[in-house]
């Protein structure tokens, strides 16, 4: 368990995702409508690189012959078998209680938490930028 700074808020606009290595684990970081979420980059089914999948909405349960599209940007589909996962919870759409991918807590913290030296050397920082931190 620990804090791991994985990037700056400004680098990952809403709708974007990036895959990072934290403590030897591959993790997908997603910005869904301005809020950050982190999922283990491994599908619980056959260990595919889940976080490389498509991010879309989904058809909601409906009556036969009826299609209702909702939750745009909140649903991740495995790049192999197309299973749908809720990025907000890591739970699968079809069996949220049994099929789930590990999710991690993500916080956005002020830039002062990021070492001055690294900030100066690597990134020009604007005042409004926050930091993205993953907690394992």
Partner 1 sequence: MTQTDPLMETAGAVRTGIIDCDVHPSPRSMDEIRGYMPMPWKDRYQGGGRGFYSNPVHGSRLDAVPPGGGPAGSDPGFLREQLTEAYGTAHAILLPRAFCNMHPDPDYGTAIAAAFNDWLAETWLGEYNHDGLFKGSITVAHQDPQAAAREIDRWADHPHFVQVMTDSGARAPFGQRQYYPIYEACERNGLPLAIHPGTDGMGVNVQPSPGYPTRYIEWHTCLSLSFQAHLVSFVTEGVFERFPGFRVVLVEGGVSWLPALTWRMDAEWKALRSEVPWLTRPPSEYVKDHVRLTTQPLERPDSDKHLLNVFEAMDAGSVLMFASDYPHWDFDSPTHAFPKMPDELRERIFSENARSFYGLG
Residue ranges binding partner 1 (CB under 8 A): 45-49, 52-54, 77, 79-82
CB of 73 to partner 1, least distance (A): 17
Cβ proximity to partner 1, 2 vs 67, nearer residue: 67
Please work out, in degrees rounded to the nearest 5, the angle formed at the alpha carbon of residue 99 by the alpha carbons of 80 and 101. 70
Cβ proximity to partner 1, 81 vs 135, nearer residue: 81
Of 96, 58, 76, nearest to 16 by C-alpha is 76
CB of 77 to partner 1, least distance (A): 6
Cβ proximity to partner 1, 75 vs 132, nearer residue: 75
Residue bearing tokens 């995702």: 17
CB of 121 to partner 1, least distance (A): 30
Cβ proximity to partner 1, 35 vs 81, nearer residue: 81
- How many CB atoms are closer than 10 A to CB 27? 24
- Distant-in-sequence, close-in-space partners of 7: CB < 8 Å, separation ≥ 6: 18, 20, 29, 131, 132
CB of 74 to partner 1, least distance (A): 17
């Amino acid at each position: 368990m620990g804090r791991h700074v994985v990037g700056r808020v400004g680098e990952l606009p809403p709708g974007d995702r990036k895959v990072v290595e934290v403590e030897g684990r591959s993790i997908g970081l997603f910005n869904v409508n301005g809020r950050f979420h982190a999922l283990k980059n491994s599908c619980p089914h056959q260990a595919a690189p889940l976080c490389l999948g498509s991010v879309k909405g989904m058809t909601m349960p409906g009556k036969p012959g009826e299609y209702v599209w909702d939750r745009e940007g909140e649903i991740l589909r495995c790049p192999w078998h197309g299973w749908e996962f809720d990025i907000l919870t890591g739970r699968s759409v079809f069996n949220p209680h049994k099929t789930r991918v590990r999710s991690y807590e993500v916080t956005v913290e002020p830039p002062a938490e990021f070492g001055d030296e690294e900030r100066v050397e690597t990134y020009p920082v604007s005042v409004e930028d926050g930091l993205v931190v993953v907690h394992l």
